[in-house]
Amino acid sequence: MDALFEAQFSPLANTGRVLSKCGKCLRYMKYISSQPSRLYCGTCEEVYFLPQKGTIKLYKELTCPLDNFELLIFSMAGPEGKSFPLCPYCYNNPPFEGVDTLFDAARTSGSNKLGKGAGMPCFLCPHPSCRHSVIAQGVCACPECSGTLVLDPVSAPKWRLYCNMCSCLVLLPHGAHRIATTRERCPDCDSTIIEVDFNKNSTPLEDGATLHVGCILCDDLLHSLVEVKHGKSFFKRAGRARRRGAGRNAFRGRGRGFGKELDPKMSFLYF
């Protein structure tokens, strides 16, 4: 109620810029950038909190298949900051049970502080038909925790995977024109097969070929081109446990660590 009152009667509502469409009334909502950053729909008189300490942009005018809200892309600062899409409504009102309490995050309605509501970005969404969900963009299990490595949709040309639970980053072949997940699964480890379109001037393939499809865990070429490191994480978890055999020693430089002894099965929590 305090947030709604402030958005309605504060001069901030007049200075906010138009950003994205509301899925309920199909009118544009205003983005208020001052802390805590949020969206305000004047027609529905609703406030939607957003992730803090980063930049928010409209994501290609794409819409959420669950509620028709336009998607946003959130980017953290720095070369190792993560970027991920989110639906304003799902982020504040997670439609799947248990997602809103993941990472010890409280829902907005139960928080005493503005902007503390952390819900469901697209990298946690288990919706099977959304191409931005963890079902579509998840690649394999994280080597550092029980999370899933997800393809960063706007990381080109420095393509990478990031864990949806911890700060683990996996750097993919740089300079590729396109890297995308497929619907195929690896027969050996059940990870998602990815498709890489290399730059013709720097392709590692024979005869100048540029297109390669494979598993980053089992394909020798892709296995040799990945590098694991740690970057900035949106969520912070205290005392997180590591899976057996998947600690820091499992990764020692480029191309190592994605051994077949690691269980690479996807870890879709709450699905």
Residues in the chain: 271
Percent of the chain with pLDDT over 70: 72
pLDDT band at 271 (very low <50, low <70, confident <90, very high): very low
| Top-ranked range on mean pLDDT: pick from 41-50, 105-114, 117-126 | 41-50
pLDDT band at 111 (very low <50, low <70, confident <90, very high): very low
pLDDT band at 258 (very low <50, low <70, confident <90, very high): very low
Percent of the chain with pLDDT over 90: 33
In contact, 128 and 135? CB cutoff 8 Å: yes
State the Cα–Cα distance between residues 93 and 76, nearest whole angstrom. Answer: 22
Q: What is the mean pLDDT of residues 160-166?
A: 89
Q: Tell me, what amino acid is at 203?
A: T
In contact, 198 and 177? CB cutoff 8 Å: yes
Above 50 in pLDDT, residue 135?
Answer: yes
> Measured between alpha carbons, how far is residue 42 from residues 75, 186, 205 in Å?
26, 48, 54
State the Cα–Cα distance between residues 111 and 12, nearest whole angstrom. Answer: 22
- Both tokens of 226, joined, read 């990945």
How much is the pLDDT for 74?
Answer: 92
Q: What is the mean pLDDT of residues 77-82?
A: 77
The average confidence (pLDDT) of the chain is 76
